[in-house]
Amino acid sequence: MLAYLNGQFLPRADAAVPVEDRGFVFGDGVYEVWRVVGGRLFETERHLARLSSGLGELRIQAPDLVDPERLTAIADRLLTEDGLLDGEATFYVEVTRGVAPRTHQFPSASISPTVFAMANRFKPAEPLRQSGATCITMPDIRWLRCDIKTIQLLPNVLGKQAAADAGALDVLFVRDGVITETSHANVLAVIDGAIRTHPTNNLILAGITRAVVLEIARDHGIRVDETPFAPSDLSRASEIFLAGTTTDVMPIIRVDDIVIGGGRPGPIATTLFRELRRRLDRLAHERAGRGAATASA
Ligand code: PDD
């Protein structure tokens, strides 16, 4: 497998960053994950916009890869050489502030950011989607800028591990009495026939899949109410589902001891997954005769 690191393509095993990289020392960086179908990046621009906004918030100099043509050229080469033009993959990009002697404040000299990218094979979570998955709840102990996709993911790692230890797929984080999101996906509920989900503010990541799924819902005349729901609302939710780049739409049939929707995936999650899958499949089929990853998605 290949890696892209600071302008160079090299075997992933040989890709290394200095120990004083501020990503390694402070978690001082941001990342993005794209879904790739048939060699094409899904929602190229929206992910890039989020990456640029995160870099801006952290005042990290934007590397040339934030340009869609440069990004897709890098993705093309990784996907091609790693044999990932067919089927499903993910494309990961990480940008850290760069390498400098350890001091909390930004380095005074102008340093170049460290830029890393890789592509990986991805397998969607079938057949779990057909049966539906389970979640646990846990306090959301993350910081108050969850809208920035930083590489500081320790509460997310601990949450996901707690879920795995409990035999569940993921954790629903609870802050101030409401459910925010999961370790790496957004969470939506169907209550009184409408989709309820946490609004995009500083307490959640504004998921691209969340945005796509809400678009699809509105197109289908499904009411959307971006008001958070509480753990106490779970027992009256007819559906709960997750949305994320590596999650697609995943029905949740039990949270802690509360069975949701009679323990079966519900019609709204099923419709939204089908339509999301259609968009992915359409993108994959556009590849014929047009090269691999391109800017439009
Ligand atoms: N995670 N919330 C959190 C905390 C996330 O980390 C993610 C994505 C999402 C969903 O966002 P999107 O639909 O844009 O992928 C929500 C990525 C996939 C990850 O960490 O692997």
Give, for ligand 1, the residue of 142, 179, 186 to mutate: max count of ligand atoms closer than 8 Å to Cβ. 186
pLDDT at 137 over 70: yes
pLDDT at 190 over 70: yes
How much of the chain exceeds pLDDT 70, in percent?
96
How much of the chain exceeds pLDDT 90, in percent?
95
Residue 45 tokens, joined? 């621009």
Give the model's confidence band at 293: pLDDT under 50 very low, under 70 low, under 90 confident, else very high: low
Give, for ligand 1, the residue of 46, 149, 184, 212 to mutate: max count of ligand atoms closer than 8 Å to Cβ. 184
Give the model's confidence band at 297: pLDDT under 50 very low, under 70 low, under 90 confident, else very high: very low
Domain spanning 2-121: CATH 3.40.1390.10: no
* Look-up of token digits 């440069």: 70
Give the model's confidence band at 290: pLDDT under 50 very low, under 70 low, under 90 confident, else very high: low
Equal CATH topology for 2-121 and 126-280 = no
- The HSE-up count of residue 167 (CA atoms within 13 Å, CB side) is 3
Burial category of 92 from C-beta neighbours within 10 Å (exposed 0-12, middle 13-18, buried 19 and up): middle
Topology (CATH) of 126-280: D-amino Acid Aminotransferase; Chain A, domain 2 (3.20.10)
Measured in Å, residue 9 CA sits from the centre of ligand 1 at: 26
Tens-digit pLDDT profile for residues 77-115: 999 999 999 999 999 999 999 999 999 999 977 799 999
Measured in Å, residue 122 CA sits from the centre of ligand 1 at: 15
Measured in Å, residue 181 CA sits from the centre of ligand 1 at: 9
Q: CA 277, CA 41: separation in Å to the nearest integer?
A: 14
- The HSE-up count of residue 184 (CA atoms within 13 Å, CB side) is 19
Measured in Å, residue 155 CA sits from the centre of ligand 1 at: 14
Neighbouring CB atoms inside 10 A of 257's CB total: 6
Set 22, 40, 46, 149: catalytic member: 149
**123 tagged catalytic:** no
* CB 246 near ligand 1, within 6 Å: yes
The closest alpha carbon to 26, from 115, 94, 112, 99, belongs to 99
Residue closest via CA to ligand 1's atom 8 equals: 184
DSSP state of 80: H
Residue closest via CA to ligand 1's atom 19 equals: 184
For range 4-23, the mean pLDDT: 98
* Sequence spans of domains, the chain: 2-121, 126-280
The predicted structure's pLDDT at residue 288: 57
For range 241-258, the mean pLDDT: 98
Query: With contact defined as beta carbons under 8 Å apart, do 32 and 51 qualify?
Result: yes
* CB 244 near ligand 1, within 6 Å: yes
Give the model's confidence band at 167: pLDDT under 50 very low, under 70 low, under 90 confident, else very high: very high
Q: CA 66, CA 48: separation in Å to the nearest integer?
A: 6
Tens-digit pLDDT profile for residues 111-133: 999 999 999 999 999 999 999 99
* CB 245 near ligand 1, within 6 Å: yes
For range 62-67, the mean pLDDT: 97
Q: What is the mean pLDDT of the chain?
A: 96
